[in-house]
């Protein structure tokens, strides 16, 4: 079972199922036995294939329960970061600076961190993300890494930093609430969305899969499409009203 599709594609195991769930949740959601069975059946069905390697994508998002969907108030008011004349990359570094004390607290409490697959410091990963946002992409820092691997690992480090930092703040925060906060309120998420657009237009074959599969969760891209459609419908309705 794969939570990071690019790594699995590079390893080429005989049978693999990529699931679009949060890291640490390979079966999607707690207390959802029917959904978990569907995931397991999809995984076991890969044994029916006559030959490999096989890498399939699980087609469903994890269900969201009432408690999971609840929001929370982040003590660090990063949504209010001023970006005038400074740009999205600057806002990303501002957020990281504000969240750093919470991240340090989380690391001390847990005695470990999941940040570090790109570099020793999250700022290294953030610089790589920022280079794409600013239109001058850096080369991968490790020989043998494709552009896609570098972007994915940098984004995973940045996201892990945010998740661990906010989880250390007061309150019993659900994983889904943290995920919603990250994707709907942070400059980091806006940077990832900007990179997704770059990947969609790129000729680099290692970047293209990021745009379609693993950089942005499906609930975010689906929500964007619904918003665009609503705006389009509203514009059409306005034009019709003017003609009448």
Q: Tell whether the model's pLDDT for residue 228 goes beyond 60.
A: no
Predicted confidence (pLDDT) per residue in 184-219, tens digit: 889 999 999 999 999 999 999 999 888 876 788 877
Look up residue 191 and give its two tokens.
């940077």
**Does the predicted TM-score (pTM) go above 0.75?**
no
Where residue 220 falls among pLDDT bands split at 50, 70, 90? confident
Three-state secondary structure call for residue 237:
helix
Residue 156's contacts (CB-CB under 8 Å, 6 or more residues apart) are 4, 23, 117, 118
pLDDT exceeds 80 at position 172: no
| Alpha-carbon gap, residue 24 to 127, rounded angstroms | 26
Say how far apart CA 52 and CA 195 lie, in whole Å. 32
pLDDT tens for 134-171 read 999 999 999 999 999 999 999 999 999 999 998 888 76
Tokens, residue 224: 């964007």
Q: Take residue 189 and report the two structure tokens written for it.
A: 């998420």
Q: What is the pLDDT of residue 212?
A: 76
128 burial (CB, 10 Å; 0-12 / 13-18 / 19+) is buried
12 token code pair = 């080429």
């Amino acid at each position: 079972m794969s939570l990071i599709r690019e790594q699995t594609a590079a390893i080429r195991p005989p049978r693999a199922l990529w699931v679009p769930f949060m890291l640490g949740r390979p079966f999607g959601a707690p207390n959802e036995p029917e959904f978990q069975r569907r995931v397991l059946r999809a995984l076991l069905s890969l044994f029916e294939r006559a030959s490999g390697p096989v890498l399939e994508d699980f087609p469903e998002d994890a269900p969201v329960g009432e408690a999971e969907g609840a929001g929370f108030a982040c003590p660090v008011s990063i949504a209010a970061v001023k970006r005038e004349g400074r740009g999205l990359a600057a806002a990303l570094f501002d957020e990281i600076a504000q969240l750093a004390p919470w991240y340090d607290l989380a690391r001390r409490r847990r005695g470990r961190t999941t940040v570090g697959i790109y570099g020793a410091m999250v700022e290294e990963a953030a610089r790589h993300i920022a280079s794409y946002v600013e239109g001058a992409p850096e080369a991968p820092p490790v020989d043998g890494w494709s552009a896609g691997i570098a972007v994915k690992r940098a984004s995973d480090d940045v996201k892990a930093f945010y998740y661990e930092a906010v989880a250390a703040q007061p309150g019993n925060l659900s994983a889904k609430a943290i995920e919603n906060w990250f994707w709907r309120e942070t400059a980091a998420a806006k940077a990832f969305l900007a990179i997704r657009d770059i990947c969609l237009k790129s000729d680099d074959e290692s970047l293209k899969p990021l745009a379609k599969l693993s950089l942005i969760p499906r609930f975010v891209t689906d929500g964007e499409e619904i918003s665009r459609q609503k705006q389009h419908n509203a514009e059409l309705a306005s034009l019709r009203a003017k003609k009448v």
